Amino acid sequence: MSFTPNYLSQRDPRWANELLGFDTTVTIGTDGCTLTCLTMLVNGYGFSETPSTLNRKLKDMGSGVGFLGSLIVWPGLTQAFPKIVFRNIIICRDQPAPISDINNSLDAGQPLVIEIDESPASGLQNHWVVLYARQGNDYLMLDPWPEPPDHAPVTLSTRYGFNRPASEFITAVAWYDAGGSPVPGPAPAPTPAPAPDPAPGTGLYVRVQAAVTAGLTLRSAASTSATAVALEAPGTLLHCNEPDAVALAKIGILDQWLQVSDPAGLNGYVAAWYVEKVPGTSSVPVPTPAPAPTPPAPTPPEPTPTTPAALTVLVMQSIGTVGLRLREQPDTNANTLAILAAGQALTVLEPAEQAIPKIGQVNQWLNVNDGGGHSGYVAAWYVESASAPAPVPAPQSPPATSTLTVLVSSQASAGLRLRDQPNANAVILKILMPGTPLIVLEPAGTAQAKIGVNNQWLNVQEPGGTVGYVAAWYVA
């Protein structure tokens, strides 16, 4: 099936303000580049979709099938369009992109959906585009960002290269195959039969723990930042694709990952600390050493069991009015369940001896309940222990309003992201165009030292009243 280039913009006003997937904070206009790329992909094969109609179709398939929060679940497109088959995704953020594979696919007439680092600034400024042909040493692309959309061929390196080789700024590649002719409208996704418990001797299986009520993410690599492939429900059986002895040593261990296959045949990695072994399925018996004989000893009386008091933590006051996100999974890309106010008390749902060392530590997460019916994960570096009563601050005069104003630099030609945290992976609140004035919400002396400096962030308010953080190296 031949591919016909077509142009759409995620920022088209007809759908720009529509919420993306199951997220309640981001829209197609701010974060819908992947969705818009997939729309251009299916339309290139003869379908007639918009980002809005594809957004609804993927949502209608259910959470974890088409979307995981606002994240695309790549095989979901195949369920909506059976003639377009998901083949593979390679994440190459920490290694050169597979240029020869990219070239071979394009030479065979197969378009690719790729992630790029759109800016040479520090950190990943990720964006997705469609490559559909080679042009010399460059690539013709369909870019979902411009509004109005492009109407003439555009090359990848001309717009996003900044004198970097493509192998350096292409950070992920997704392959889809298309065959036959377009089918009018999506076919309903088949309902898989429930998988029976495997028989002994069929290999090692693990089961998603029942306590993981929000489901366990199957990822393309062994990292919480890796792309979501599917969402596995509690109780789902997963086949281990690595040696039994290696896998058995990881099950239930924090920060270990298992390479598995799910009942639908999808391959990927799951967090080993959220699964349990299915008895009788290991094809390699693990010998248990016989205990050495010991003389009988008197049995001491068992102590009366006591239930330890649940650990409570507080959302730090420094979080300000932005609030702290309670997420489905310990990952800054996971779906947001609730916004927690500064000072809010949270009940920790994991053992105190495991939780206490995490409090205040960057890149650590706590499993908590907010007292309002939501259980999930919060960034441990934004909470503090509530074991001692928090001091009541003495009344003071409100601080003087900062008079410092900065402008979005012209270097941010594609727009500057206003994020909810000072982090390149944080949720995007708005896209600010060059020249937009921003009121700085931190002391002028502190802010002045950051302006134009890589890896520094400014707490600002944009003209519409939204408060967040911007990369200080893109303001003047």
Across the range 159-183, mean pLDDT stands at 84
First-residue to last-residue Cα distance in the chain: 49
Banded pLDDT at 291 (limits 50, 70, 90): low
Q: What's the confidence (pLDDT) of residue 462?
A: 84
Of residues 258 and 463, more confidence is placed in: 258
Q: What's the confidence (pLDDT) of residue 285?
A: 45
- Name the residue type at position 5: P
Q: Where are the alpha helices (DSSP H) in 249-358?
A: 352-355
Burial class (CB in 10 A: 0-12, 13-18, 19+), 141: buried
Of residues 150 and 328, more confidence is placed in: 150
Alpha-carbon gap, residue 278 to 355, rounded angstroms: 28
Handedness of CA 369, 372, 373, 378 (dihedral sign): negative
pLDDT at residue 141 tops 70? yes
Q: Tell me the average pLDDT of the chain.
A: 81
pLDDT at residue 188 tops 60? no
Banded pLDDT at 278 (limits 50, 70, 90): confident
Alpha-carbon gap, residue 358 to 411, rounded angstroms: 38
Q: What's the confidence (pLDDT) of residue 58?
A: 95
Of residues 378 and 17, more confidence is placed in: 17
Name residue, tokens 């240029």: 99
pLDDT-above-90 percentage for the chain: 32
Banded pLDDT at 308 (limits 50, 70, 90): low
Alpha-carbon gap, residue 445 to 68, rounded angstroms: 42
Banded pLDDT at 186 (limits 50, 70, 90): very low
Q: What's the confidence (pLDDT) of residue 70?
A: 87
- pLDDT digit string (tens) for 75-84? 889 989 999 9
pLDDT-above-70 percentage for the chain: 81
Banded pLDDT at 183 (limits 50, 70, 90): very low
Cis check for the bond before 463: say yes or no (omega within 30 of 0): no
Q: How many residues does the chain have?
A: 476
Q: Which two tokens stand for residue 392?
A: 């009541």
Across the range 420-436, mean pLDDT stands at 81
Q: Are 262 and 256 in contact (CB under 8 A)?
A: no
Q: Which residues pair with 338 in a beta bridge?
A: 326
